[in-house]
Chains A and B, each alone.
Chain A
């Protein structure tokens, strides 16, 4: 059985005429011990998706569909069950650890909190476990007494990861875990995440705008545009030979150093990612699409088979091959 199965997830903020559809029908599957990357640009709904997985969205958000974690629907479960699932079943690492950590509490107490709240440890045992967790993420156990402002950005992100690991979850959701970090620190954090998920066979759902980082870290890759997955498949294949024109454009926006084709030739797309409150009709990508045909302005495209283990939502996929 899959560890995580998302079925036709829809999230809408607000209601009536001002309703904003942030996620518009997403299906995803994550097998135990595997790593799935979700790529997309601002406003594509990727962070809403991350929050929805643990039912962390504000009350104003309307959620439809199913999120099956180990066969149990997160959206339908009782609060008591949900509390048990958060941290222990699945935990989340947010971007910007400065804002996610409490500035007036020592980091050791913050890491211990889920352990104590879930009644998994006595205060003394929790202290010992905190030291263990800190060393596990590459920080000295003595740093437990530090406050967030005494740590660098990379160290704070390590603390976030230690917190996420505290209750031995089976799934970690990482939302832009390395954004705003320097390249060298980013590499340190990515290697740490890779090592931990491999050692403890945790599954990883990593969300990022950086397709190159996801392709390097994950097994499979889903590309989101305007609240939908428009392409999904093995990470390397999607990065190197995307089937969807948006996937191709996003991939070529990341220059490969040494490749003469991208030397003095930055590539992007005309226009901007669409505003979720004002989506174009038909295929939402058609106004920016270099290969759009007349029908694209009229008809939306569903995901369809695009080769072994691959799906893409484009009129050009499957029609000729």
Chain B
């Protein structure tokens, strides 16, 4: 084996702490009540298709994504719609959600619930995209961008390769790892479907080499799928970032401010490929996903197949309860996840994991003067100068921040992670991004 591939600029290596890597995926029991936010994707919320008092089945359409960047939401449970009300979602805001009192587990009859692996793709390219659209599939890596839009290549651009993200570079998280071990064939069929939708004959699955079992399994299985290769990558955060993964696997660099399609690539997550398989081959909408539940004090860290809308606390109970020393509850991984306000927050399509950090780990370190050590610069995967951008944001120098490419920041948090003075660099960069973004949008209106 030669030198392992990876991206070239910046990066850090936080402790991997993959506590739940050996835990097979278990099915989480149904909740008594499900809270299904209307907006679980990047973009506009869906329009409700049910009303209070309606009886719904598993897989029934609850909300229709009517805007261009929007996505359908289906019922993860069967039962009666209690109300459509504002419920706190993982962002911490109270937003419209459909609340269902669960009754039994009655599925729509056109969903194929068998375990049979269906390899043959019967749908055409156009039908594939439409099916993915109908079934409400969004990017499950965390960004929740509606998947069908990614497959519609804009005029004048051409895709020549699909990259499947099996990196799982966030510490603690193991849901993609388990999928590649337990549902490898399904992921590969899903990949083939995505290739068809995109119109490419080549796909690369990027996996970091801290998951040798997944690399072995996928490499072995991929032999039966033409055009799909597995690329083993050196462990480095944030390799799961689209631009970093493209650079690592095919050495192409997405230009600043542009999308991956600019260099002929489209990136999808392993979890998304699995959801695409279920949607297209099994006619099953996206209403459940694999979620890692983990933390150093958690009694039984594990990976669970969870229905969307299940309150986080039910998952926590299953893992042995909320440890007493819990200081922070995080939706996602420790580097890019969001701190949750409450254990009542529902699992949504974008929930890759629930992480319980101990009190001690939850506190930020004391902030000291910047000593200009430039470590933030050397770890920034986008080649930015976080110390400088933070200064600009602090002093509201938005033009300068824009010039220094604050909008290129992918919010990976490597700068803050590595800062010896514990400076909240990413907080400032986010502020800069939101202000500069606003300025750019206003400019466009004129």
A and B bind: no
Binding site for A on B (CB under 8 A): none
